[in-house]
Amino acid sequence: MKNLVKVTFLFFVLLQMGCNKETRYIYEVEQQELYQSSSEKKTLKTTTQFIAIAYNDLFGTSITNSELNKFDIALQALGDKGIIQDMVIKSLINRSGVQIVSDAAMRADVPTFVDVTYLRFFNRKPTEFEVWKLTDLIEKNADISPRMVYYSLTTSDEYRYY
C-alpha cells in the first residue's frame, strides 16, 4: 500500500512537471543564394527531386508520398526520362489547384511576370535577353498563356538541374 501511494504521488508529480513545461521548437530557414546564370547548375535532379520540386512549384505545397511513389515508378520504369518527365508535367499542370497567374495579370506587366516566373522555376533572375525574348514572344502572340510559359520552363533542360 505504501509503495502504491509513493508510485501514485511520483506519477502525479511527474505529470504536473510535464504539464507546466512549455516546449517550443524554433525552426530557422537558411537564406538561399540565387543562381547568377543557368551555367551554375551542374547536378541533375533525381526523379523524386524532379517530381517533388515540380509539384511544389506548380501547387505551392508538398506532394504526398503515395502520389510521389506513383510518379517515381512511372519515371523509373521507362528508359527515356525526358518523355516521362514531360508527361508528368502535363499531368500536373492540367490539374485543378495549380497556382497559375491569370492571362490578364501576365499581360498587364509582362517583364515582371517574366522575372517572377524565372525566380519561381529557375531560382534565378532572367538575363536581359531572356526578359526581352519572352516579353516579345508574349506580347506578339495572344495565344501564349501563363500555363504554356510554365509548361515550357518546367520541361526545359535547365529545370532538370540544380
Can you state the angle between helices 65-77 and 47-59, rounded to 10 degrees? 130
Instruction: Return the pLDDT at 61.
Output: 92
Max mean pLDDT range (17-31, 40-54, 96-110): 96-110
Rounded Cα–Cα distance for residues 118 and 126 (Å): 6
Tell me 44's DSSP state. Answer: B
Residue 73 confidence (pLDDT): 84
Would you kindly state where each structural domain of the chain is located, as residue ranges?
39-160
| Cα separation, 24 vs 27, whole angstroms | 10
Q: Over the stretch 122-160, which tens digit does the pLDDT of each residue have? A: 999 999 999 999 999 999 999 999 999 999 999 998 998
How does the average pLDDT of the chain come out, rounded?
82
**Does residue 104 have a pLDDT over 70?**
yes
Q: Could you read off the pLDDT of 83-92 as tens digits, one per residue?
A: 888 888 999 9
- How far is 121 from 60, CA to CA, in rounded Å? 12
Closest CA to 41 of 117, 119, 115, 124: 124
CATH number of 39-160: 1.10.3130
